[in-house]
Structure 1
Amino acid sequence: MRIIEISSYVATPLSGMTLAQLGADVIRIESVGGAPDRTRWPLADSGTSLYWSGLNKGKRAIEVDLSSERGRRLVADLIVGGGRRGGIVISNSERNPDLTYEALRARRPDLIHVLLTGRRDGGTAVDYTVQAATGFPLVTGPEDAARPVNHLLPAWDVAAGLYLATGLLAAERHRLLTGEGQQVRVALEDVALATAGNLGYLAEAQLNSAPRERIGNYVYGTFGRDFTTADGERLMIVALTPRHWRGLLTATGLTDVVSALAAALGADFDEEAERYRHRALLGDLLASWFTTHTFPEAEAALRTTRVLWSKYRTFTDLAADGARLLRQNPLMAQVRQPGIGRHWAPGSPVVMAGEQSQPEVSPQVGQHTEEVLRTELALSTDDLAMLHENGVIRTHDDEHDDEHDDEHGDEQDAVQRTREVDHHGATC
């Protein structure tokens, strides 16, 4: 499967990378100088975007002047070409009239055109404005917060990227069976609305007179919250089932106390709704146990149960725990990214037939321009020279930046070589 990607920011690059990690040949189109998100934070010391590199692994990239008619025609030729494996494009823009679904379908009737919009009517939106419009920031954050709290995770971008990939695969499956192409449209705002509806939030708002309250780190409708131990560590504890709940009480020695409380209140704490309704009382009882026990003591007690729990970690903590979490997880492998250096990066979390795909480097601006145009459009050396001379394309030599390599490079190379032998990329 060959996919032409004309995109920026999160959702559409994530969609393309998701498919590339499953084996698709994804060719990313960038304007001269690179896409506007090439410099988006966070950055490496060299100025290379860690964000961009993370979302574009395993793609090929060409650099074309999309403001020129010849440049747009080159891209259109790439989209409509490619035989049975081609004719697929992902985009988050309808600015270029030569690259719309209608214009491209006129040249290739079985075209699959996958488009992300902000709103269903084609209006613009980004994750953070969609958050604001759909209610989530007003129930996120501490219980006593007066202002909306946007989530750090761009959840609607991530979900939209995966919906785009799913829609593309469904359309390709339909084309394989019928020979018919189609346009697939996903609106970022619709992704948030669909999720709010699927999780019951919209129905609750329509049917209940009382609005949903902000509850901080309590888990809505069951028992779960964070606790701090005597040595200052913080844990998240969740008891979804009666078995979880009884295990938590046993681990903390509170079974008899909570039984007496249940009798006094006339409550059955084996019921999720009752645990949630009396969450403050139950939370205070448990908090007093955690504040008198250290984290090692709490960990030892919780490990004897089926209670769901985890210690809170910063991103720095997570990255520093490489020996256990990064080196031993087949999802992760070492990559040497130009401009960044050597670091651990994930492949696809999808394991196909027992095989784990490995991360690849992200392309530099224009890294594959000549290669793609030569192999996919059969352009000659003279053709490429003329396009370059006229400013229609730009080409860059592949660069290597080893200055950030870890001092244990030989050891890490051995780890990488082992993984390359043991884990092969899956294909779709």
Structure 2
Amino acid sequence: MPTPTTLPLSGVRIIEFASFVAGPSAGKALAQMGAEVIRVDPMGGNADVKRWPLSDRTGESLYWNSLNRGKRSVMLDVRSDVGRDLLLGLATAPGTDAGIVIDNAVGRPWFSYEALAARREDVIAVRVQGRADGRPAVDYTVNGAAGVADMTGPAYTDAPTNHVLPGWDFLCGQQVATAVLAALRRRDKTGHGANVEIALADTATAAVADLGWFTEAAERGDRARHGNHLYGSFGVDFATADGDRVMIVALTPRQWASIGIATGTTEVFAALAASLEADFTTDEGRYAHRGVIEAVLTPWFAQHSTVDVHTALSDAGVLWGPYRSASVVAADFEADAGIDPVLVGVDQPGIGDVISSSSPMRFDGEYSGSVPAVALGSDTAVVLGDVLGLDTAELDRLRAAGVIV
């Protein structure tokens, strides 16, 4: 596991004043690359401090402790002028690799870019918004507006299907991390700071546009639902004799050929293609006849055990993957199956053993590993001393005034 000093962002200090997923996930990604990320919360914690899921053992938020691993934690009374002044001081403290802020503090003029730049001209401020016009939004409200919920779900209903994964939040978080790195690069070259705003709704809409889905709708109308079928080629799930399910996909002629080899259906599909005057080596051919292809393959999967299916698909080079519940993933991890090397165990104070993760980025072939999240506000005094130079007497006065605890 790399040490913090060997990671590429070692020495960079970032102040995170954000809640929920987009901002904190960006902070965590930057921390996993070696940055010192200081999360600042209001007294008692931000609105996400008790967000589900909660630990059955202790009632603590598994969500909060997962997204805030590797960060330092400061808690301030930001309703007070003194607390706000301390946060502004942390955000604009001197240093070549300091003066970098991630926030979603929309509607707080005292923490605006202008307020930050007045203290440090080259400050880098990256702000997460709901919508570009300032209106609020979360992943689950922008997904429907981007049209994705109407494409998702089984073919027998036209009701919108919400997703579980807050994918737009995480994608927005990676946009935030990218913006920080780009702005830092520019500041290193030119000395200029940056005021960057990234709206969650824009992130979702831009991603759908980049896939060509809006233009497709303009030309053809709304796409029909396909359930678990892959759109535009061939891919669908099958049940094994044991009742497990696997997903197979064919995006290339070689991948298509490998399905025939694994299932012994090469000649069947050649005859079928000839009778249908279809070319199954093309995306269009496989997609147009996806129902017939599924019907031919279904008996083979139903007649073979899960182990035999996995072995045959792997040996033939099929593009495939199993369906696993979250509890099965957890059980595989506990059994040290080595299936998901990005996962790592952490002893989280206040909870106990938890399943955490390394960064997906492997520098020099090494996973980053993981560390526990610290208790809310546990670094307050040390950070104020290290970054702002406050001495013991000044810290005691802040405690007496209720600005820190």
In the superposition, the TM-score normalised over structure 2's length comes to 0.94
Match of 1:335, SS state, is: strand
Residue in 1 aligned with 2:236? 225
Whether the aligned pair in 1 keeps the contact of 2:124 and 2:194 (CA below 8 Å) is yes
Partners of 2:277 and 2:335 lie apart in 1 by 46
Residue in 2 aligned with 1:251? 262
Tell me, yes or no, if structure 1 residue 39 matches structure 2 residue 27: no
* RMSD (Å), alpha carbons: 1.4
Match of 1:38, SS state, is: coil
Match of 1:367, SS state, is: coil
Q: 1:265-280 to 2 correspondence within 5 Å?
A: 265-280=276-291
With over 3 angstroms needed to count, the CA separation of the structure-2 counterparts of 1:37 and 1:237, relative to structure 1, is same
Tell me, yes or no, if structure 1 residue 112 matches structure 2 residue 119: no
Whether the aligned pair in 1 keeps the contact of 2:106 and 2:134 (CA below 8 Å) is no
Whether the aligned pair in 2 keeps the contact of 1:326 and 1:332 (CA below 8 Å) is no
Match of 2:78, SS state, is: coil
Partners of 1:313 and 1:392 lie apart in 2 by 47
Q: 1:239 aligns with which of 246, 250, 255?
A: 250
Question: How far did residue 237 of structure 1 move?
Answer: 0.8
Residue in 2 aligned with 1:77? 89
Question: How far did residue 96 of structure 1 move?
Answer: 2.5
Question: How far did residue 303 of structure 1 move?
Answer: 2.4
Residue in 1 aligned with 2:397? 386
Tell me, yes or no, if structure 1 residue 62 matches structure 2 residue 74: yes
Residue in 2 aligned with 1:138? 150
Q: 1:164 aligns with which of 176, 184, 195?
A: 176
With over 3 angstroms needed to count, the CA separation of the structure-2 counterparts of 1:87 and 1:134, relative to structure 1, is same
Unaligned runs of 5+ in 1: 395-428
Question: How far did residue 94 of structure 1 move?
Answer: 2.6
With over 3 angstroms needed to count, the CA separation of the structure-2 counterparts of 1:255 and 1:327, relative to structure 1, is closer
In the superposition, the TM-score normalised over structure 1's length comes to 0.89
> Once the two structures are superposed, what CA deviation does each residue of 1:128-153 show, in whole Å capped at 9, x if it has no partner?
00011111011111111231111111
Residue in 2 aligned with 1:179? 191
Question: How far did residue 282 of structure 1 move?
Answer: 0.7
Question: How far did residue 172 of structure 1 move?
Answer: 0.5
Residue in 1 aligned with 2:15? 4
Whether the aligned pair in 1 keeps the contact of 2:333 and 2:340 (CA below 8 Å) is no
Whether the aligned pair in 1 keeps the contact of 2:172 and 2:198 (CA below 8 Å) is yes
Residue in 2 aligned with 1:422? none
Whether the aligned pair in 1 keeps the contact of 2:106 and 2:129 (CA below 8 Å) is no
Partners of 1:343 and 1:232 lie apart in 2 by 30
Q: Aligned AA for 1:316?
A: S
Unaligned runs of 5+ in 2: 1-11
Partners of 1:42 and 1:85 lie apart in 2 by 35
Tell me, yes or no, if structure 1 residue 125 matches structure 2 residue 137: yes
Partners of 1:337 and 1:82 lie apart in 2 by 33
Partners of 1:21 and 1:30 lie apart in 2 by 20
Partners of 2:116 and 2:17 lie apart in 1 by 14
Residue in 2 aligned with 1:420? none
Q: 1:295-334 to 2 correspondence within 5 Å?
A: 295-322=306-333, 331-334=342-345
Question: How far did residue 327 of structure 1 move?
Answer: 5.3
Partners of 2:112 and 2:334 lie apart in 1 by 48
Q: 1:203-218 to 2 correspondence within 5 Å?
A: 203-208=215-220, 210-218=221-229
Question: How far did residue 270 of structure 1 move?
Answer: 0.7
Give the count of matched residue pairs.
Answer: 393
> Once the two structures are superposed, what CA deviation does each residue of 1:214-259 show, in whole Å capped at 9, x if it has no partner?
1011111111000011221111111111111111112212222211
Residue in 2 aligned with 1:22? 33
Whether the aligned pair in 1 keeps the contact of 2:105 and 2:111 (CA below 8 Å) is no
Partners of 1:219 and 1:207 lie apart in 2 by 20
With over 3 angstroms needed to count, the CA separation of the structure-2 counterparts of 1:120 and 1:369, relative to structure 1, is same
Residue in 2 aligned with 1:406? none
Question: How far did residue 118 of structure 1 move?
Answer: 0.6
Residue in 1 aligned with 2:8? none
With over 3 angstroms needed to count, the CA separation of the structure-2 counterparts of 1:305 and 1:330, relative to structure 1, is closer
